[in-house]
Amino acid sequence: MIDFSMYGQKEPEVYAYKCPDCGTLYYPAPMICKKCGARRDPSGVIFSSWEQVPLGGKCKLLAWTRVYALPEGFDVKYLLFGIVEFENGLRASGRLLVDNPHTGMELEAKIGVVKEKVGEDIYGFMFDIR
């Protein structure tokens, strides 16, 4: 999902994957296209690689919650989460930075650190006011 390997790229990104045969976009990447059955080969050796399309920007809030009982590794009183729909129709779950959200509101999907682990930061979607 996060690819720092591309030379010169500093900003972490989250990608959708495009089926080379029928053009359908996916998040996260499947191993077989739901629509046409084309195979994805992460190594790109046997089958052609799928194009990575950066996912983010303008989106709409479909559902949200504020959670007070968080799992191990999250040492705060509460966090907000949401499911959004992007303009290309793809959906994603992620962290919500708006403290008093309402369903249907317009948001901006940014990429930020969603989990801090020893020696490794995990990046993902942060949905914020546009």
- Report the interface residues with another protein, using CB under 8 A: 1, 27-28, 62-74, 79, 81-83, 91-95, 103, 114-115, 122, 124-125
Q: Quote the CA–CA distance of 110 and 11 in Å, as a whole number.
A: 11
What is the C-alpha separation between 68 and 42, in angstroms, rounded?
Answer: 38
**Pair of tokens at residue 46:** 């046997």
The entry of another protein, Zn ion, none near residue 4 (CB within 5 to 8 angstroms by kind) is none
How far apart are the C-alpha atoms of 111 and 98, rounded to whole Å? 15
Biggest CA pair distance of the chain: 49
Using CB under 5 A, pick the residue from 1, 25, 29, 38 that binds Zn ion. 38
Q: How far is CA 45 from CA 17, 27, 38, 39, 49, in A?
A: 17, 22, 15, 12, 8
Q: At closest approach, how far in Å is the CB of 73 from another protein?
A: 7
> Residue 70 binds which entry of Zn ion, another protein, none, with Cβ cut-offs from 5 to 8 Å by kind?
another protein
- Closest CB 37 distance from Zn ion, rounded Å: 7
> Interaction with Zn ion in 80-119: which residues (CB under 5 A)?
none
Burial of 128 from C-beta contacts in 10 A (0-12 / 13-18 / 19+): middle
Partner from Zn ion, another protein, none binding residue 33, C-beta < 5-8 Å depending on class: Zn ion
Smallest separation (angstroms) from another protein to the CB of 19: 15
Q: Which does 52 bind (CB under 5 to 8 A by kind): Zn ion, another protein, none?
A: none
